[in-house]
Chains A and B, each alone.
Chain A
Amino acid sequence: MSATATVPGPLKKGYKPRQKETIAFYLFIMPWLLGFVIFTFGPMIASGFLSLTKFSVMSAPEWIGTTNYVNMVHTALFWKSMGNTLFMVAFDLPLGLIASLSAAVLLNQKLRGVNIFRAIFYLPVLIPTIANILLWVWIFDKDSGILNLILKLVGIPAQPWLTDQLWSKPSLIFMNLWGLGGAMLIYLAGLKGVPVELHEAARIDGASSWQGFWKITMPLLSPTILFQLVIGVIYEFQIFTQGYILGGGPNFSTTFFVLELFNNAFRYLKMGYASAMAWVLFGMTLVITLLVFRSTPYWVYYEAERQR
């Protein structure tokens, strides 16, 4: 993995880059390097410092050591919000991965008008988050929402989709499924890279299309799945907007970790505590991402590695 990901170009062993090339490299990456220092690394250091202080923007930060981290452990809402976010990691992420992959496999078939189907599946991704949520709040409305009206037409009693603490997160997962087109498009790109000849050869050898899928498509697609998984973990940990618009949900059921963080920072002006929460978030993201990467030798197949 690391070999293919980090060594672009024919960098032969023992190659000594010329000075001119080195200077050119640093000039080319200068915009990012400056941006990294000013807008990422600097603020990161500052945030680490702030997480050890009491800071309300109004006055100078006051050093309190690890108090923020200790307080966190004793805050019920901290655990509740973490649970909510982990719920999404555990259910929204895998469901989304399976659904978008299934959609991609379906729309990778030779269907007439397949491009129209693809465009339709992708369409919801283009709707601005805020418009999307306002729309779904309306669809899920308990009394006049179209979902309950349709259920009523077929004789099923209305459900409190977003206003019940048991329903609220599954409803959001349902809503997110509507946006599977983004991941689908990337899977479709991955599926394009699966040579048709391999499948034809397998068919001649008597393999079923089911076997073909698991033995040919899946291994070749595994790097794409890895990519989606990593992006997905990061995305799920940062879920915010839905919970924000829903005001945290009934009994804090959609108060996700980042919403709790945001409330502490901008509502209660506990900037130090919020910074500490951000570092816990970073830690959790990092641990799960590293676990995913550690697991790659068991299931991710790299064609380039095999060829070397």
Chain B
Amino acid sequence: MSAHTNALKPTSTKTVAKQKRSRLLSTPWPLYVVAILLSVTFLFPLFWMASTSLKSMEQAYAFPPVWLPNPPQWDNYAKIFTELPFLTFTINSIIITVLNTLGVVLASAVVAFGFSRLRAKGRDFLFIVLISTIMLPSQVILVPTFILFKYLKWINTILPLVVPAYFGGGAFNIFLLRQFFMTIPFEYDEAAIMDGASWWTIFWKIMLPLSKPALATVAVLNIVAVWTDFFGPLIYLNDLNKMTLAVGLSFLRGQHTASLTLLMAGGMFTTLPILIIFFLAQRYFVEGIQLSGLKG
């Protein structure tokens, strides 16, 4: 604000110096101190996982603690692949995450379009039903769902982890996208209808292109959720070579030859893909959360 008004005045060396001093004085130093201290606290556990993952066992348990591994044991990362089929775990995780996310984004967008743009008898009632399902603990349906998949002979395949995604894509995602679609002016629909466009055209040609940030948000949130999901794979998959990374990592804990350092290396290896995806999509993601107006 002050910089803005200053910019209108003719600048002389004197005012520049004044500006600098006032900027220095108006800098909220205590806020920076708090933000930096908290940042260190937030980064530390992650740093500690990375650090431990590169240590020898002696260094991991040393006192006083060794902050930086010396020399770094990159070998730990190679060892997790020989200890357990981590490469297979990774491929399985990628396949399940991609197929699931595709279904979630497509299905939730289609359904959200219906709830946000079309008027029909029973819509508001069904929307309340939809919202209520967010509150339904998944444990309530756990046993019957398991028996259903068993009956369909889907156990020990990726189907239970992928197929349900195509049936609606999750109430929360539908809600999030509906909130976003509501912010897009209805005049677009009306104009398109005048031009003879179908609802599907409006959805596909108008709504989706305008909703990229919200769709990216749903996609990223879902990628994180599926990648880190522990219980789905644990319950529905049996064979070691069908497992995902999240569950495979817990198996590493069970290996008696595997050490703490390998466990941390496995943790880092499981975490890194998510960090990369998040930073690639960060701009869309933050924008999406802001735009979808998660304000109730």
Contacts and interface: CB of A to CB of B under 8 A. Distances in A.
B140 interface: yes
Contact of B182 (A8, A188, A223): A8
Contacts of B178: 8
B45 A106 contact: no
A120 B139 contact: no
A138 interface: yes
A236 to B, nearest CB: 11
Nearest to A117: B35
Interface string A66-101: 000000000000000000000000000000000000
B119 A190 contact: no
A198 interface: no
Question: Interface of chain A, helix or strand or loop or mixed?
Answer: helix
A16 to B, nearest CB: 9
Contacts of B42: 120-121, 123-124, 178, 181
B250 to A, nearest CB: 6
A162 interface: no
Contact of B168 (A35, A43, A57): A35
Given A109-B28, A279-B140, A193 B293 contact: yes
Contacts of B79: none
A9 B118 CA distance: 8
A32 B168 contact: yes
Given A28-B114, A240-B231, 18 more contacts: A8-B182, A26-B120, A32-B171, A36-B168, A43-B145, A44-B140, A44-B144, A123-B46, A124-B45, A128-B230, A128-B267, A129-B246, A134-B249, A135-B48, A138-B263, A150-B65, A241-B230, A265-B142
A223 B296 contact: yes
A7 B124 contact: yes
A245 B118 CA distance: 46
B72 interface: no
Interface in B44-67: 45-46, 48-49, 52, 60-61, 63-65
Contact of A278 (B43, B142, B181, B266): B142
A234 B115 contact: no
Interface of B: 28, 31-32, 34-35, 38-39, 42-43, 45-46, 48-49, 52, 60-61, 63-65, 107, 110-111, 113-121, 123-124, 126-131, 133-145, 147-148, 164, 166-169, 171, 174, 178, 181-182, 186, 199, 203, 224, 227-228, 230-231, 235, 245-247, 249-250, 253, 260, 263-264, 266-268, 270-271, 274-275, 278-279, 282, 286, 289-290, 292-296
Q: How large is the interface on A (under 10, 10 to 19, 20 to 34, 35 or more residues)?
A: 35 or more
Contact of B64 (A106, A134, A153): A153
Among B28, B118, B250, B282, chain A packs the most CB atoms within 10 A around the CB of B118
Interface of A: 5-11, 15, 17, 21-22, 24-29, 31-36, 38-40, 42-44, 46-47, 50, 57, 103, 106-107, 109, 111, 117-121, 123-124, 126-131, 134-136, 138-139, 144, 146, 149-150, 152-153, 178, 181, 185-186, 188-190, 192-193, 223-224, 226-227, 230, 234, 237-238, 240-241, 245, 258, 261-262, 265-266, 271, 274-275, 277-279, 281-282, 285-286, 289, 300, 302
A32 B48 CA distance: 43
A130 B235 CA distance: 15
A29 B123 CA distance: 10
B114 A189 contact: no
B141 A44 contact: yes
Contact of B45 (A39, A135, A279, A289): A135
Contacts of B142: 265, 274, 278
Contacts of A181: 42
21 contacts: A6-B128, A11-B119, A36-B167, A43-B143, A44-B136, A47-B143, A47-B144, A109-B31, A111-B32, A131-B49, A138-B52, A146-B48, A149-B63, A185-B286, A224-B295, A234-B137, A245-B250, A271-B143, A274-B139, A275-B143, A278-B140
A39 B167 contact: yes
